[in-house]
Amino acid sequence: MQEQSVRAARPRPRRISVFDGQDLKKAMSAGAEWLEAHKEAINALNVFPVPDGDTGSNMSATMQAAIRAIVDSSETSAGLIASKLAHGALLGARGNSGVILSQTLRGLAHGLDKKTTFTAAELANALQEAAILAYRAVLKPVEGTILTVVRDSAEAARLSAQRGDDLLGLMHEVVMAARQSVAHTPGLLPILKQAGVVDAGGQGFCTLLEGILRYIRGEAGVNIVPMSANGASAAADEPPVKKGRVTVEEEFGYEVVFLLRGNNLNVDEIRQHIIDMGGVSTVVAGDEKLLKVHTHALTPGKILDYGVSLGSLLDINIENLQEQSLAYAAESEAEHAAEAKAEQLSSAVVAVVSGKGFEKVFEGLGVNAIVPGGQSMNPSIEELLAAVEAAPSENVIILPNNGNVILSAQQVAGLTQKQIYVVPSETLPQGIAAMSRFNFEADFATNCDTMKGAVKDIQTAEITTAVRTVQIGGVRVREGDYIGLINGNLAVAGQDMEQVIQDTLQRMNMERYEIVTLYYGADIDETQAQATAQRMKERYPHLELQVVDGGQPYYAYILSAE
């Protein structure tokens, strides 16, 4: 690049026809600098599980290593500079994204091999090499990642070079395409969409390209503005413009192909009608008796209905284009695809739970669905059935966690095609004990067996208030008394809650247990619960005690000993 200021030459910048090694060095340094400035924002995109962590830092470290290999070089051959860059990146590659980036630079070096200078067309070729090596660097290429962005960038470069753009024009097109490609990544990779982010590696590559473009424009080193976490450049000097000529926008929905047999079929009219119905890439060919229809549509059913209204359909073939699609628009399609792919488990668990805290406990242990309910608000069979049907397995284990729910849970078995097992858990702690023994790797029968057994391994005490006066099993209770139940049986009654708790524990022979979990109810605050736990600890110092916000109604405390 010539030493004159490109900015000063606006609005008609001088055509930049060739780069030599020093130009390449400065451009890549500017790119690396831009990447370094934005690495934290790129790290912030890294919210979903990626092996070998922190994409922004890893990519920047890789680029820094590449730049260190050329920073002192006065070499003017572009090919040699590119080769040194690639070597440096290879040595310093960090993380998966870094390795892919290093392979991209290696591809660039292959493309520029033995070239003292390069033109836009030669750069476009080198970028194609870069894309190929990037794909080869991974075992199973996944779209919606840096790979897609590299490929889309290379494709934009090719088209730009074909049109005769100079290096500035080409890099502009490349950056536009990269930004658009990054914005599309959530449409290709459901996990990105779930996390609400664009792909970090793709964004890193795009940021590198932006830095290079800034250099070619003469803007490098000024106005470094951090990016926001959603990946959009906060600098906002160039919003991601959608290019009308990018035909990938049309690749969405379903590919519908069929033969239509009828009488007096009008090829042109049928083609136009399908286009009006939203059909894209529509081809209708044949004669008035038999013709072939090919189209892409969001709702294949409508196209087929239309076909049926004209004659009879043969050889119907419908394929979901989502997998290969680069369409961001087809969001609902992607969701359906993700749902369809939801893993079918060997067993799923549905638990009946009351109390926000208990819900969290069960979710944390990995139950697949929670049906709210319990004491005085037993769930309907219909509610249980709905949860069972929605569970991601043909084999469903139900944890009723209440003596009054067990029967309705058992009724579900007769209403579904699925295999059902009801663990006889009568209390929430019994359900927790069963769930902690649920083996994620074992088969259904084994789990039913161990979970049933686990229910007996735990003792439950419940402290609540009597709603009426009664005498059961020798325990006299007046309305409003505190009562202690052990495994669902009335054991203790009295007017002082602390005394009732103490008496209940005594009846349970706490000496035999090693861990006690105290779940406090919605009407108890944490300080109160901690004080209760403290008194228990003083009385039974051998116990490991955990206090958990159960949030259950009616029961001041639910306690488990094991």
Partner 1 sequence: MTIRILTDSTADIPADEAQAHGITIVPLTVFFGEEAYRDGVDLDNAGFYRKLQASKDLPRTSQPSPAQFQEQYQRLLAEGAEGILSIHLSSKLSGTYQSACTARDMLAETGNTIPIEVLDTLSISVGMSRAILRAADAAREGRSMQELKALVADELARTRILAVLDTLEFLKRGGRIGNAQALLGNMLSVKPIVSLRDGEVVRVEQPRTRSKAYARIAQLVGEMGKIEHISIAEASEDVGQQLAEAIKSVYSGELTFYKLGAVLGTHTGPGTAAVAAVIAL
Alpha carbons 478 and 471: distance in angstroms, whole number? 9
The distance of closest approach from Cβ of residue 90 to partner 1 in the complex, given in angstroms and rounded to an integer, is 5
- The encoded tokens of residue 61 equal 């470290």
Site membership for partner 1, residue 72 (CB under 8 A): no
The distance of closest approach from Cβ of residue 65 to partner 1 in the complex, given in angstroms and rounded to an integer, is 9
Site membership for partner 1, residue 361 (CB under 8 A): yes
The distance of closest approach from Cβ of residue 402 to partner 1 in the complex, given in angstroms and rounded to an integer, is 20
Site membership for partner 1, residue 425 (CB under 8 A): no
The distance of closest approach from Cβ of residue 73 to partner 1 in the complex, given in angstroms and rounded to an integer, is 19
Per CB under 8 A, contacts with partner 1 among 495-514 are 514
From 55, 63, 71, 58, select the one nearest 32 (Cα to Cα). 63
Overall residue count recorded for the chain in this entry: 562
Give the residue, chosen from 436, 465, 528, 530, that forms a contact with partner 1 under the rule CB under 8 A.
436
Site membership for partner 1, residue 182 (CB under 8 A): no
Angle made by CA atoms 75, 80, 86, in degrees to the nearest 5: 120
**Number of neighbouring beta carbons within 10 Å of residue 128:** 17
Give the residue, chosen from 11, 239, 244, 364, that forms a contact with partner 1 under the rule CB under 8 A.
364
Task: Name residues whose C-beta falls within 8 Å of residue 414's C-beta, 6 or more positions apart in sequence.
Answer: none
Site membership for partner 1, residue 67 (CB under 8 A): no
Considering the complex, state which of residue 54 and residue 165 has its C-beta at the smaller distance from partner 1: 54
254-261 and 312-320 beta bridge pairing: antiparallel
Stretch that binds partner 1, among 16-24, 214-222, 302-310, 434-442 (CB under 8 A): 434-442
Stretch that binds partner 1, among 77-85, 118-126, 373-381, 546-554 (CB under 8 A): 546-554
Q: Is 257 exposed, middle or buried (0-12, 13-18, 19+ CB in 10 A)?
A: middle
What SS3 state is found at 351? strand
Site membership for partner 1, residue 267 (CB under 8 A): no
Considering the complex, state which of residue 21 and residue 92 has its C-beta at the smaller distance from partner 1: 92
Report the DSSP beta bridge partners of residue 283.
Answer: 294
CB < 8 Å & 24+ apart, contacts of 297-305: 297/253, 297/254, 297/256, 298/252, 298/253, 298/254, 298/330, 298/333, 299/253, 300/253, 300/254, 300/256, 302/277, 303/256, 303/274, 303/277, 303/279, 304/256, 304/258
Where does 225-280 have alpha helices with state H? 267-276
The distance of closest approach from Cβ of residue 191 to partner 1 in the complex, given in angstroms and rounded to an integer, is 9
Report how many residues bind partner 1 under the rule CB under 8 A: 45
Site membership for partner 1, residue 493 (CB under 8 A): no
Considering the complex, state which of residue 139 and residue 236 has its C-beta at the smaller distance from partner 1: 139
Task: Name residues whose C-beta falls within 8 Å of residue 359's C-beta, 6 or more positions apart in sequence.
Answer: 353, 370, 372, 551
The distance of closest approach from Cβ of residue 36 to partner 1 in the complex, given in angstroms and rounded to an integer, is 13
Site membership for partner 1, residue 95 (CB under 8 A): yes
Site membership for partner 1, residue 5 (CB under 8 A): no
Residue carrying structure tokens 């005690």: 545
Site membership for partner 1, residue 50 (CB under 8 A): yes
Residues 109, 115: contact at Cβ < 8 Å? no
Q: Is 16 exposed, middle or buried (0-12, 13-18, 19+ CB in 10 A)?
A: buried
The distance of closest approach from Cβ of residue 206 to partner 1 in the complex, given in angstroms and rounded to an integer, is 21
Quickly list DSSP for 280-327.
EEEEEEE-SSEEEEEEEES-HHHHHHHHHHHSEEEEEEEEE-TTT---
Per CB under 8 A, contacts with partner 1 among 121-150 are 136-139
Site membership for partner 1, residue 363 (CB under 8 A): yes
DSSP, res 62: H
Distances (CA, A) of 320 to 306, 315, 335, 483: 20, 17, 13, 61
Considering the complex, state which of residue 388 and residue 543 has its C-beta at the smaller distance from partner 1: 543
Site membership for partner 1, residue 542 (CB under 8 A): no
Stretch that binds partner 1, among 90-98, 155-163, 273-281, 419-427 (CB under 8 A): 90-98
Give the residue, chosen from 205, 215, 438, 482, that forms a contact with partner 1 under the rule CB under 8 A.
438
Per CB under 8 A, contacts with partner 1 among 511-540 are 514-515, 517
Considering the complex, state which of residue 246 and residue 442 has its C-beta at the smaller distance from partner 1: 442
Give the residue, chosen from 29, 83, 103, 464, that forms a contact with partner 1 under the rule CB under 8 A.
103
Site membership for partner 1, residue 28 (CB under 8 A): no
**Number of neighbouring beta carbons within 10 Å of residue 377:** 12
The distance of closest approach from Cβ of residue 53 to partner 1 in the complex, given in angstroms and rounded to an integer, is 5
Site membership for partner 1, residue 544 (CB under 8 A): yes
Alpha carbons 209 and 204: distance in angstroms, whole number? 9
Alpha carbons 454 and 141: distance in angstroms, whole number? 44
Site membership for partner 1, residue 93 (CB under 8 A): yes
Give the residue, chosen from 159, 275, 329, 365, that forms a contact with partner 1 under the rule CB under 8 A.
365
Considering the complex, state which of residue 51 and residue 474 has its C-beta at the smaller distance from partner 1: 51
Considering the complex, state which of residue 449 and residue 498 has its C-beta at the smaller distance from partner 1: 449
Give the residue, chosen from 360, 418, 478, 535, that forms a contact with partner 1 under the rule CB under 8 A.
360
What SS3 state is found at 558? strand
Site membership for partner 1, residue 49 (CB under 8 A): yes
Alpha carbons 254 and 535: distance in angstroms, whole number? 66
Give the residue, chosen from 348, 432, 455, 508, that forms a contact with partner 1 under the rule CB under 8 A.
432
Footprint of partner 1 (CB under 8 A): 48-54, 58, 90-96, 99, 102-103, 136-139, 357, 360-361, 363-366, 432, 435-441, 514-515, 517, 544, 546, 548-549, 562
